[in-house]
Structure 1
Amino acid sequence: MRFLAGLRAWPYLLAPMVLLVAFTYIPVVNMLLYSFTDWDGLSPTRDYVGLDNYVDLFSRPQLFQVFTVSLFYLAGAAVQIVVALYFATVLSFQTRFRNLFKGILFFPYLINGVAIGFVFLYFFQPGGTLDSVLGAFGVGPQLWLGDPDLVNTSLAGVSVWRFMGLNMVLFIGAIQSIPPELYEAAELDGASRWQQFRYIIAPGIRPIISLSAILAVSGALSVFEIPFIMTGGSNNSETFVIQTIKLAFTFNKVGLASSAAVVLLAIVLLATWLQRLLVPDEKVRLT
């Protein structure tokens, strides 16, 4: 009977499996195949060049210098996790209007990334919203997107604003899975909110914090949407993904761009493996 029940489940899994294969695995395989060719993206023919694209890629160290931009987004992701953890902890206790605050903080994640990019273009423009607010405190106008020393910090700040709500929701879900009697026992023992966070919440949601860190690193390495919309990669804000897109669609070097995408995928997988190696997922037992 269990075998027949398992067979009945397969028709329901067929549609998502077909979509997963069609839009994830087949494109990845094609990308890998393109990386061994000199295809320009338009020609009906493409010649096999072996590892020439990878040799060309690694013989240009300037192509990897853009990874320094990812450090700004990585720092922003760290701030994002800390802020999300703070709000998740506060809103998990009895707080007035906590559902309203949850909705307000999560709402930016629901907005389309292109729309966010255009909104913050007006926010950061000279004499715009940010300059007007800072002007009330005596701070002069700045070229937030035009100054190479400020542009990446500004863009990373937009990413923090957009994705903080997602991390907050993940943390809230994990915090709510902790048995409430642990909080009651801690309160009877006179534990403060900070002590409850340190000895109950933080250990209890450690796997989710590790997951958020993995997503933060992979997101910082592959950031694309916000800098592409807001600056197009100008003023030292170009990321590795933007550079790859330009190789493919501006310089018509789809083969070289595909090899760059394969290298990026390998770097993300390596970073994820190292994180899981250094911070293994251990079953947490709270007593």
Structure 2
Amino acid sequence: MTAVQKTRASAHAVGRRNAPPPESGTGRPRTGRRRRVAVLTPWLFLAAPLTLLVTFTYLPVADMIGYSFTDWDGVSPTRSYVGAENYTDLVTQPARFEVFLVSGFYLAASVVQIALALYFATVLSFDTRFRNLFKGLLFFPYLINGVAVGFVFLYFFQPDGTLDTLLRLIGVDGKHLWLGDPDLANPSLAGVSVWRFMGLNMVLFLGAIQSIPPHLYEAAQLDGANRWQQFRHIIAPSIKPIISLSFILAVSGSLAVFEIPYIMTGGANGTETFVIQTVKLAFQFDKVGLASASAVVLLILILLITWVQRRLIPEERVELS
């Protein structure tokens, strides 16, 4: 064997050692395995949150629906099936639904809250001095625990307290029963909700406004548009889906108000909401079955109102260019 032949043989041997192993079959099993892995991978990531969602949301809702067909008192080990008697009791007593009138105060406050949040989000989206500081100050109330907010405003609304002192500085004298007068209690509580939740809406609006391409503002400035015209023709149409979402959350939230009035007044002086009434039925009058039926009715109302809102205000896709 010549030197050339030896070189070719050694190169051929090295190539055979470095070559990948031949695939068995036609390659379909490996392709099918990759497809199965691609399908299962998202579900592996979703396993934990779905387990928590089912365990702490859907299963309790299913139990609540089951309780609504019983006369359980919340303590007894036995539960008697009563059919639709709890729902009949709710329907035949319209006074139980009069508490929804209180939700009107919170719905009106939600409109004010959305308007203020939209104003501050628009102002802070432009080049404003100390805008990061103002963002933090406006968003901070949402981070405070609701119980703490309730106790703070209990002192704020005391007769001859902080609010009355501030009013005297501008010439309004006298002691006001902000939480004791039925004409003042609900507006006062609704004002607390405006202070607490406005920052959340502001952040939602601010994030949507900052997604608007800057060249739209530049083109508007070249055409001589002022701030109001930029808001009317650029900002408002661009964030319309977020505004619609905020109104949907406002309506559902006004129907399910609980912690602020419960902590500050306990539902007294005409401030009782539907949720407070439901809690009292369950834990004060030991009517867990009736309270569960009441909660199911509230859930159905919220879902129905949300569906109607989505039909009246369909989701629109905004194209920014």
* TM-score (normalizing by structure 2): 0.88
Match of 2:102 in 1: 69
Determine whether 1:6 maps to 2:39: yes
Match of 2:76 in 1: 43
Match of 1:234 in 2: 268
Match of 1:215 in 2: 249
Determine whether 1:104 maps to 2:153: no
Deviations 1:2-32 (A, max 9, x none): 5413323322211111110011000111111
Amino acid at match of 2:240: R
SS at match of 1:194: helix
**C-alpha contact (below 8 Å) 1:200/1:286 kept by paired residues:** no
Q: Which moved more, 1:275-284 or 1:104-113?
A: 275-284
Ranked by relative contact order (alpha carbons within 8 Å, sequence separation 6 or more), the top structure is 1
Deviations 1:191-235 (A, max 9, x none): 010011001100000000001001000000000000000000000
Match of 1:266 in 2: 300
Distance 1:220 1:2 in 2: 47
Determine whether 1:158 maps to 2:192: yes
Match of 2:217 in 1: 183
Q: Sequence identity, in percent?
A: 73
Deviations 1:25-54 (A, max 9, x none): 001111111101111101111011111000
Whichever of the two has the greater Rg, that structure is 2
Match of 1:94 in 2: 127
How many residues get paired?
287
Give 1:116's match in structure 2, choosing from 149, 155, 179.
149
Deviations 1:79-126 (A, max 9, x none): 000000000000001000100000000000000000000000000001
Give 1:136's match in structure 2, choosing from 162, 169, 173.
169
Match of 2:22 in 1: none
Distance 1:280 1:250 in 2: 42
Q: 1:92 to 1:3 in 2, by over 3 A?
A: farther
Q: Which moved more, 1:12-21 or 1:61-70?
A: 12-21
SS at match of 1:285: coil
Distance 1:262 1:10 in 2: 31
Amino acid at match of 1:281: E
**Structure 2 stretches lacking a partner, 5+ long:** 1-33
SS at match of 1:57: helix
Determine whether 1:257 maps to 2:276: no
The CA deviation at 1:137 is: 1.8
SS at match of 1:39: coil
**C-alpha contact (below 8 Å) 1:72/1:152 kept by paired residues:** yes
Match of 2:5 in 1: none
Runs of 4+ residues over 3 Å off in structure 1: none
Distance 1:157 1:3 in 2: 54
The CA deviation at 1:132 is: 0.3
**C-alpha contact (below 8 Å) 1:135/1:141 kept by paired residues:** no
* TM-score (normalizing by structure 1): 0.98
Give 2:227's match in structure 1, choosing from 193, 213, 216.
193
SS at match of 1:150: helix
Distance 1:5 1:193 in 2: 49
The CA deviation at 1:263 is: 0.4
Q: Which moved more, 1:273-282 or 1:104-113?
A: 273-282
Match of 1:276 in 2: 310
**C-alpha contact (below 8 Å) 1:91/1:102 kept by paired residues:** yes
Determine whether 1:245 maps to 2:279: yes
Distance 2:204 2:214 in 1: 18
**Structure 1 stretches lacking a partner, 5+ long:** none
